[in-house]
Amino acid sequence: MSALVAIREASVTGGDYSPAKEKASNRGVYNGRSTLLNRRFRLLIGGGAKYKLLLLLCFLTSLYSLSSRLSSFMGWNPHYPSSVYSTSRGGYTVLINTWKRNTLLKQSVAHYASCGGTDGIHVIWRERNPPSDELRVYLKNVVLSKSQTANKPNFRFDLNERDNLNNRFKPIEDLRTDAIFSVDDDVIVPCRTLDFAFTVWQTASRTMVGFVPRMHWLNEERNGVAYYGYGGWWSVWWTGTYSMVLSKAAFFHKKYLDLYTSKMPSSIHDYVSNERNCEDIGMSLLVANASGAPPIWVKGKIYEIGSSGIRSLKGHSYARNKCLNDLVSLYGAIPLIKTNMKACDARHIWFW
Ligand SMILES: *[C@@H]1O[C@H](CO)[C@@H](O)[C@H](O)[C@H]1NC(C)=O
């Protein structure tokens, strides 16, 4: 199928060629067209529009994939080292953050167990009472029955004595994978999308790769202190710029669990556990500081199955603004890096 597509595409562009046209273009008849193309190209990359840069990137990615498919079809395959993109590092561990929502938890465990790249599922249990035997048995069985792979994913609860939001990023003993997919119990990422994001992470494992982008900007400087604004989905959509991806649906390297727990300033741990919020902003600061790189936003639909989005929008945005500024001042720096790049699956791009 993909080979067919490649041929069709090739004959469309190749069909333009004829000796007469070539001669004509040498005489300058076709120069009009090429300057038009030139102008369009300049228009495309000029104008400072974030959007266009993004599109161009997606376009180049798809072009690259097309050309590599064409070349392999034509027998030009220069033997790509397949191990680079294979799941040689052993898939990922899904880290589910849950709180008193067993129905959602059952749904999301069943879903992630069915994804091919899932090597393990860890549920961060933050209630004081341990999970019931009924729930344990149910989830164990659902993992076994839904898993499509020969190696059944590990399933484990991480129990905690106190409800402390920092536990979300506690190091996990005997992890089998480098990759962690951190997700809230009410977020469902389709397996195809998830596996694609994992391949993105494999090429950029220092940074966070996820589906929920957020941004920051400098609001004002007063008496040598910088105040920042925190931008939600609309700001990202409007400007095409982001500097964080939230841990409610993101891949990161397991070493960041260690760094979060042992190297993060303890004032930040205290802040997060007192406010019961903003551990995700803390993690973004940490990964940006350690990697010196922006996060990567992956294109793909995700589904929120809970009905918990009743947070008053105004209050929420005020709280997030405050968190960002408080955490930045506790951290002593703002290491976040802005970017306009978005990774998209080239198999799904036909036109822009
Ligand atoms: C940020 O990274 C640098 C270099 O890796 C490190 O020395 C520093 O402690 C980090 N900052 C914080 C607040 O963790």
* Residues 1-43: tens digit of each pLDDT: 444 444 343 333 333 444 444 444 444 444 444 454 455 545 4
Closest protein CA for atom 13 of ligand 1 = 331
pLDDT at 124 over 90: yes
Q: How confident is residue 126, by pLDDT bands cut at 50, 70 and 90?
A: confident
Residue 330's H or E segment, with its range, is: helix 313-331
Say what angle helices 313-331 and 279-291 make with each other, to 10 degrees.
40
DSSP, collapsed to helix, strand or coil, labels residue 221 as strand
Strand 187-188 versus strand 303-304 pairing type? antiparallel
| Residues 48-52: contacts with CB under 8 Å, at least 24 apart | 49/240, 50/239, 50/240, 50/241, 50/340, 51/240
Catalytic hit among 186, 195, 280, 345:
280
In this predicted model, which residue has the larger pLDDT, 345 or 33?
A: 345
Residues 104/145, Cβ–Cβ less than 8 Å: no
Among 100-104, 198-202, 348-352, the minimum mean pLDDT is found in: 348-352
pLDDT at 184 over 90: yes
pLDDT one-digit tens code per residue, 213-232: 999 999 999 998 999 999 99
Model pTM? 0.75
Q: How far is the centre of ligand 1, averaged over its atoms, from the C-alpha of 209 (Å)? A: 21
Which H, E and C letters describe 16-29, residue by residue? CCCHHHHHHHHHCC
Pairwise CA distance, residues 113 & 90, whole Å:
15
What domains sit in the chain, N to C, each tagged with a CATH number? 2-78 (no CATH), 92-348 (3.90.550.10)
Task: Among 259, 262, 285, 289, say which to mutate for ligand 1: greatest number of ligand atoms within 8 Å of CB.
Answer: 289
Q: Which residues pair with 187 in a beta bridge?
A: 304
- 280 assigned to active site: yes
Pairwise CA distance, residues 54 & 31, whole Å:
29
Closest protein CA for atom 4 of ligand 1 = 290
pLDDT one-digit tens code per residue, 142-162: 999 999 888 889 999 999 888
pLDDT one-digit tens code per residue, 245-276: 999 999 999 999 999 999 999 999 999 999 98
Which atom of ligand 1 lies at the shortest distance from residue 333's CA? 13
Q: Tell me whether residue 350 is exposed, middle or buried, using C-beta atoms within 10 angstroms of its C-beta: 0 to 12, 13 to 18, 19 or more.
A: exposed
Q: Which residues line ligand 1 (CB under 6 A)?
A: 263, 265, 289-290, 331-332
Helices H, strands E: what count in the chain? 12, 13
Q: How far is the centre of ligand 1, averaged over its atoms, from the C-alpha of 235 (Å)? A: 29
The pLDDT, as a whole number, for residue 314 is 64
Which atom of ligand 1 lies at the shortest distance from residue 335's CA? 1
The pLDDT, as a whole number, for residue 91 is 94
